Amino acid sequence: MPVSFEQLRKEWDNLGKSFANDINEMVEFGETHGWENWKGKEPSDNRDHLASQVLSLLREANITGKNDEFRDMFSPAHAPFISILEEQGQSIESLCVISDDSIAFVVGTSYEQRQAYVLTGKTVEKLSGHIESIGKSHQNEVFAVAEAKKITTYKGWRGEVIAEFQLPEDKSLSIKQMIPFNDGLSVLLISSEGIYLLGLAGSSMIHPVPDPEDEEWTSDIDMEHAALSFDNNLIAVGDQNSEHRILNSDGVEIAEIGPQSSYPHYALFSKDSGQVILNSCHFYNGITIGVPTADIHGLKIEPYTEDDRYTVIDEGCRVYAAVATTDYYILGDAGGYVKAFSKDGRNLWRYFLGSTISGMSISEDGKTLWVASYAGIIHKLKLDAGKRDEHVIGTGDHYEEFRIIFWKTEKQPLIW
């Protein structure tokens, strides 16, 4: 039976605060004293019976333009909507910050029909349905847009065309990610059919390495990933069955670093290009190591080997998305957390959002973090701006300005 509005508001607020407090206490105990010493029950969010009413009110608030008033009365949550997320959630990827208040992105994975959008403030603009992927350079505000079997680079969002690149003719590529070079004259393209370096003279597959003795060899790969250093001098590539390979800007291998967990899964360079972090995973967990790039030429590190030539950054996350700030990394993991780590492996903070993280982008000044998840939600976080309420799970002192929901059967995105 539906409860009154005031009863609904109070129950949602009180149960949410209690759940967040209990989770935070449990995690703090486990990290301080060891999880083997935790004897209590895992806290549960007991608001499932309220979810449908709250969702109806959220829809009404979006129709009437009273999103801010609704957010003040009902703090967002994840757990009460899990049954809905299993049916309605979807991946949001290719997040590219245009400005502190604007971002471009695509909804859908590389093997689905995608839809690209621009979000400015709280206004959503639907882009051409032919756009397959969007990418942004580390410097100089160069954007890449994949559309109609070609990739075009632009100086600024919707700015002057820099160059056009044709996709490899013999491949029907499902583009997972694109990273244009800082001059817009080359593009690093990541797909499950291989990782390519596109230039004005043509394209070359730089990963995986062909095996001339294997008659059944294929370039199809899983857990494909690649990263480009901020100065564009180095490339890191890998997949489930490879090592972490470090290449120069021409795509020539210069170093090989074995995974420290089961399967290579993610790579990212520091903002000063002085370190590359490499994540390998096992089920929902993983290990991330940091390797200095100054002496990386010729480096060879065996898998599962303790070595003073790398630093352990984290021993928990299976990383799906990440960003580098001037001073630290922010990793988005399989468990729905974003976690910050220093270059020497100190855990700085954690912040729980819900489902597996699918995309992330950060403003140039490092103050606005955009995070997307497989729940079909984008979160806009103001870093170090103070917690907005007592429903926050984690230690990050961050202010969620809003979240926007892209569920499969919703007629319009919902802003919460």
Distance CA 319, CA 173 (A): 24
DSSP collapsed to 3 states, 113-181: CCEEEEEECCEEEECCCCEEEEEECCCCCEEEEEECCEEEEEECCCCEEEEEEECCCCCCCCEEEEEEC
Cβ burial, residue 345 (10 Å; 0-12/13-18/19+):
middle
Distance CA 313, CA 288 (A): 5
Residue 51 has pLDDT above 90, yes or no: yes
Residue 3: pLDDT band with limits 50, 70, 90? confident
Distance CA 290, CA 314 (A): 9
The pLDDT of residue 373: 97
Residue 367 has pLDDT above 70, yes or no: yes
Residue 1: pLDDT band with limits 50, 70, 90? low
- Percent of the chain predicted with pLDDT > 70: 99
pLDDT in tens, 255-313: 999 999 999 999 999 999 999 999 999 999 999 999 999 999 999 999 999 999 999 99
Residue 160: pLDDT band with limits 50, 70, 90? very high
The pLDDT of residue 214: 86
- 308: DSSP letter: T
The pLDDT of residue 170: 64
The pLDDT of residue 89: 96
The pLDDT of residue 169: 74
Query: For the chain, how many residues are written?
Result: 416
Average pLDDT value for residue range 68-97? 96
Residue written as token pair 């999880």: 35
Who has greater pLDDT, 9 or 100? 9
Least confidently predicted of 25-34, 108-117, 167-176, 262-271: 167-176
The pLDDT of residue 212: 86
Residue 371 has pLDDT above 90, yes or no: yes
Count of alpha carbons within 13 angstroms of residue 159, beta-carbon side: 15
Residue 173 has pLDDT above 90, yes or no: no
Average pLDDT value for residue range 238-242? 97
| Nearest partner of 217 among 205, 225, 227, judged by Cα | 205
The pLDDT of residue 61: 97
Domains of the chain: which residue ranges? 5-73
The pLDDT of residue 149: 86
Average pLDDT value for residue range 73-95? 96
Mean of the per-residue pLDDT values for the chain? 96
Q: Buried b / exposed e across 11-48, counting CB within 10 Å, b at 16+?
A: ebbebbeebbebbbebbeeeeeeeeeeeeeeebebebe
User: Six-digit token pair at 298?
Assistant: 């010729």
The pLDDT of residue 105: 98
- The helix/strand count (H/E) of the chain reads as 4, 30
